Chain A
């Protein structure tokens, strides 16, 4: 089955500093999604990556998918308190898999003012 490893599991960053979260798969990914979750609340969709080498940005968040489509990174520039939360990567292992998303364990981000 699809395994997604996220690292680090948690991190504390000073406000204004950059941070990077990684998501690694044991298999080639068909689609890779990044979500943000505030504790105990729903998941907010951030970005979707499909093509090898693809990179997308929204405000201060940039996500990349490597050429082999087995690793993705999420980078936040000049972090703010609003960036605090749990970041989850989700992936579809193969096409037409019934949209069976597998999720990584999450990365808990705390931004210190």
Chain B
């Protein structure tokens, strides 16, 4: 089954403790992206990757890191999480970098709470 898989689905942690949210897709998609969703602010893009070893900042990259060493994986790293990073996070992927040709497929989300 074609899917985007995020782990963990839920995480409660404390300020400053490094964490990684993994994202994996089995569709051989070139493009992957991370979003966060907050009440009143909607979905905002954090980082995206057009292909392996190619990443770029989205609208709200501060406090986050990403890497794209393999095509299927695109982990989101919070080196020193802070309470303002409490949010619902989504990973997405699409073929050919999108460009209006292919829709992005989203994972089920990761709910992070930073205390």
Which of A1, A88, A92 is close to B98, meaning CB atoms less than 8 Å apart? Answer: A92
> What is the number of residues of chain B that contact chain A, defined by CB distance less than 8 Å?
29
**Which residue of chain B is the closest to A44 with respect to CB atoms?**
B106
A103→B104 contact, CB < 8 A: no
B56→A98 contact, CB < 8 A: yes
- Which residues from A are CB-within-8-Å of B107? 42
> What is the number of residues of chain A that contact chain B, defined by CB distance less than 8 Å?
27
A43→B106 contact, CB < 8 A: yes
A99→B98 contact, CB < 8 A: yes
Given the interface pairs A98-B50, A99-B31, the reply to whether A106 lies near B98 with Cβ below 8 Å is: no
B43→A99 contact, CB < 8 A: no
Q: Mark A24-38, 1 if CB is under 8 A from B, else 0.
A: 000000110101000
Q: Is the interface of A mostly helix, strand, loop or mixed?
A: loop
B45 within 8 Å of A (CB atoms):
yes
B109 within 8 Å of A (CB atoms):
yes
**Which residue of chain A is the closest to B3 with respect to CB atoms?**
A42
Given the interface pairs A88-B43, A92-B98, the reply to whether A101 lies near B104 with Cβ below 8 Å is: yes
Residues of A at the B interface (CB closer than 8 Å) are 1, 30-31, 33, 35, 40-45, 48, 50, 88, 90, 92, 95-96, 98-106
Residues of B at the A interface (CB closer than 8 Å) are 31, 33, 40, 42-45, 48, 50, 56, 58-59, 88, 90, 92, 94, 97-101, 103-109, 111
